Amino acid sequence: MTSLPQSTNKRLGLVIDLDTCVGCHACATNCKEWNTGGHMAPLTDQNPYGKDPDGVWFNRVHSFEVDRGDGPGVTINFPRSCMHCDNAACVTVCPTGASYKRAEDGIVLVNTDKCIGCKLCSWACPYGAREFDEDEGVMKKCTLCIDRIYNETLDIEDRQPACVLTCPVGARHYGDFNDPNSNVSKLVAERAGRPLMPELGYNPTNRYLPPRARRVDAENIGAQSRLDPVSPRKGFLSWVDNALSR
Amino acid sequence: MHPAFSVIFFTTSSGAGYGLLALMGLFGAAGQLPQDRWFGLTGLFIALGLVSAGLLASMLHLGRPERAWRAMSQWRSSWLAREGVLALATYVPAGIFAIGWVFLENTSGLFALMGVLSTVMALLTVIATSMIYRSLKTIHQWNNCWTLPGYVTLSLMTGALLLSALLMVFGEQVRAVHGLVPVAIVVAWIVKYVYWRFIDTTQSLATPNSAIGVDGASVKPLDPPHSTENYLLKEMGFQVARKHATKLRLISIATLFVLPLVLSLIAYMGVGGMIALIAAVLAVMLAGLGILAERWLFFAEARHAVNLYYGAESV
Q: ipTM for the complex?
A: 0.94
Residue contact A131–B231, C-beta within 8 A: yes
Q: Is A219 exposed, middle or buried (0-12, 13-18, 19+ CB in 10 A)?
A: exposed
pLDDT at B226: 94
The answer to whether residue A2 neighbours chain B at the CB level (below 8 Å) is yes
Can you give the length of chain A in residues? 246
Domain locations in chain B?
5-310
pLDDT at A229: 75
- Is pLDDT of B100 > 90? yes
Overall domain count for chain A: 1
pLDDT at B217: 76
Which residues are CB-neighbours of A193 under 8 A, at least 6 positions away? A15, A187, A207, A208, A209
Residue type at B81 in one-letter notation: A
Q: Is A239 exposed, middle or buried (0-12, 13-18, 19+ CB in 10 A)?
A: exposed
Q: Cα separation of B84 and B31, whole Å? A: 30
- Is pLDDT of A1 > 70? no
Q: Cα separation of B293 and A211, whole Å? A: 46
The residues with which A79 forms a beta bridge, in sequence order, are A61
A-contacting residues in B 141-200 (Cβ below 8 Å):
none
The answer to whether residue A118 sits within a structural domain is: yes
Residue contact A116–B210, C-beta within 8 A: no
The answer to whether residue B88 neighbours chain A at the CB level (below 8 Å) is no
- The residue among B307, B296, B303 whose CA lies nearest residue B4 is B296
Left if phi > 0, otherwise alpha if psi is -120 to 50, otherwise beta: which for A229? beta
Residue B233 to residues A82, A208, B298, Cα–Cα distance (Å): 17, 24, 18
pLDDT at B216: 79
Neighbours of B12 (CB within 10 A): 25
Q: What is the CATH number of domain B5-310?
A: 1.20.1630
Residue contact A89–B137, C-beta within 8 A: yes
Q: Cα separation of B150 and B159, whole Å? A: 14
Tens of pLDDT, residue by residue over B16-68, are 999 999 999 999 999 999 999 999 999 999 999 999 999 999 998 899 999 99
Q: Cα separation of B195 and A12, whole Å? A: 41
pLDDT at A233: 76
- Model confidence at A216, in pLDDT bands (50, 70, 90)? low
Please work out, in degrees rounded to the nearest 5, the angle formed at the alpha carbon of residue A13 by the alpha carbons of A182 and A107.
125
What is the average pLDDT across A163-174? 98
The answer to whether residue A240 sits within a structural domain is: no
Residue A40 CA, chain-centre distance (Å), reads 19
Q: How many CA atoms lie within 13 A of B303 on its CB side?
A: 21
Using an 8 Å Cβ cutoff, are B61 and B71 in contact? no
Neighbours of B226 (CB within 10 A): 17
- Model confidence at A237, in pLDDT bands (50, 70, 90)? confident
Interface A-B: count of C-beta contacts within 8 A: 210
The two counts, helices (H) then strands (E), for chain A are 7, 11
Left if phi > 0, otherwise alpha if psi is -120 to 50, otherwise beta: which for B284? alpha
**DSSP output for B211-248:** HHT--SSEEEEEE-SSSS--HHHHHH-----HHHHHHH
The answer to whether residue B243 neighbours chain A at the CB level (below 8 Å) is no
Tens of pLDDT, residue by residue over A59-81, are 999 999 998 877 778 899 999 99
Determine the 3-state secondary structure of B187 from DSSP: helix
- Is pLDDT of A207 > 80? yes
Instruction: Report which DSSP code applies to A145.
Output: T
- The residue among B308, B309, B259, B267 whose CA lies nearest residue B287 is B259
User: Sign of torsion, CA B210 B213 B214 B215?
Assistant: positive
The answer to whether residue A65 neighbours chain B at the CB level (below 8 Å) is yes
Query: What CATH number did the domain enclosing A67 receive?
Result: 3.30.70.20
The domain containing residue A35 runs over which residues? 12-209
pLDDT at A195: 98
The answer to whether residue A3 sits within a structural domain is: no
Residue B174 CA, chain-centre distance (Å), reads 25
- Residues of chain B with Cβ-Cβ distance to A115 below 8 Å are 63-64, 67
Please give the span between the terminal C-alpha atoms of chain B, in angstroms, as a whole number: 11
Tens of pLDDT, residue by residue over A11-31, are 999 999 999 999 999 999 999
